[in-house]
Structure 1
């Protein structure tokens, strides 16, 4: 099972493209007006655990190896984390493939921090909730505030979420 997790994490890290973000009460958000110090390239990742998100994006985020190991140490094999990650990886991959074909930027990542850059240059910094080591999805359209949803969903759940968020766009 650990090999599957390592493979999943490797795929996430390799597939780093543009990303998405949102605010929730559990997410830490910092806003920066303008982009005067915007020296980041379009697909750049910033820092070892930060990803830049621009444009119409859907980002699926998961825990990293360190968080996984911590959960196993604290809660044991009966924590359910393996089932959560298996389900999440399956549905996120299915949805990401379809969304890519539909013209969305998608990313599967274990990064904790996302720089959300709106089309007007304003930046929001979002840090995912890592108290429980949760998985989830970030939605961003380049214009409005991003949306973050924690937890595992099915492919239908994710498609509905994307449709609801982007329907007004």
Structure 2
């Protein structure tokens, strides 16, 4: 039986571990990481995206901010960015956005909330409220895509399908 013979209809479908789609496997790994490890991964992603001085706050008593860094834009402007990391299987709601915003200090000019899950519509609306500090959102799918594009903890593999008829007809 080949990979294409399996039908993936829903999460209850059983199939061999070696045939699980790699994005699903990476998402599972992210969900199972310890909280501090996940924060360090987000730190690394932000560094690879061009941030400097990216630091993860202490494990406890971070006041709702998991880390901060500086982003230099076009070699001219530097802005201080705070980030928060949430390993969620479900959705991050508006209260989490409000709590994060409330933890921001006066020196923070931008904020980003990174999750392995998704964001509710209310959370997206709250994050983009024009009357408040804007919070950029990175959901689980975007996070996985960033990890892949930056090549962090993953490596591409080449797979070949063998044309057995070709060899039999030689």
> Which category of TM-score, normalised to the shorter sequence, fits these structures?
under 0.3
Higher normalized contact order (CA 8 Å, seq sep 6+, divided by chain length): 1
Task: Report the structure number with the largest CA radius of gyration.
Answer: 2
- TM score, norm. by length of structure 2: 0.25
- TM score, norm. by length of structure 1: 0.25
